[in-house]
A = this chain, B = another copy of it.
Amino acid sequence: MTLEDEKPLHVIVTAGPTREYIDPVRYLSNESSGTMGFAIARAAAERGYRVTLIAGPVHQETPPGVDRVDVVSALDMLAALKEHFPGADAIFMAAAVGDFRPAERFEGKWKRKEEGGDGTTLALVENPDLLATIAAEKGARKVIAFALETADGEARAAKKLITKNADYIVLNGAAALNAASSSVTLIDRKGVVWKREDRPKSETAGRLVDLLT
């Protein structure tokens, strides 16, 4: 897998949050801004890779030379992955995919109750595990996973790497979300590869693209 091959390597990058709609206007989502995924897509395109960026709803400009596929929900993202990953050579799964979606999507606006109680419950179902689904059939392709952990991060990320069949996992703390810089730990099957403390995401993105060579 080098850039001297006839065709440039095709890299998939997922970025941003997903949105899981409850009704036509309300949704469940998360704080991901897409900054890291977009920075990886930009860095990879600058180095001559062919890049397909599968992005949830974010306010980010498409980097030059990048093919962008916009998606909304985790199921949308999975469909896009199933379409684009088979022809690709590597994938960075930087999106913060919603674990759950509402069990039901209401056609009309979900109404404040007219009477009784002051609470309610929202029934949720688990979304498919995109990382496990994609990595299970990765073959020789490199899969770089991302983990956001609020406690006991390295142990959890290392376990996730193994159980989900990824090659690398990039561990972030919650402070990384929606920020220009972050503290990141790169883990492979042998353990911690490197740590970067409070560095610009654009710079970390370049270090992550180095994993393709």
Contacts and interface: CB of A to CB of B under 8 A. Distances in A.
Interface of A: 22, 24-32, 59, 96, 98-100, 103, 107-110, 112-113, 118-126, 148-151, 174, 177
A2 B83 CA distance: 61
Contacts of A29: 26-27, 29
Contact of A109 (B98, B112, B150): B150
| Copies held by the complex | 2
Nearest to A122: B122
Given A27-B31, A174-B25, A112 B126 contact: yes
B125 A119 contact: yes
A96 B120 CA distance: 19
Please name the 9 residue pairs, one residue from A and one from B, whose CB atoms are nearest each other, closest first.
A121-B121, A122-B122, A108-B150, A24-B174, A109-B150, A25-B30, A119-B125, A59-B59, A26-B30
Contacts of A32: 25
A30 to B, nearest CB: 5
12 contacts: A25-B31, A25-B177, A27-B29, A28-B28, A99-B110, A99-B112, A100-B120, A107-B150, A108-B150, A113-B126, A119-B123, A122-B122
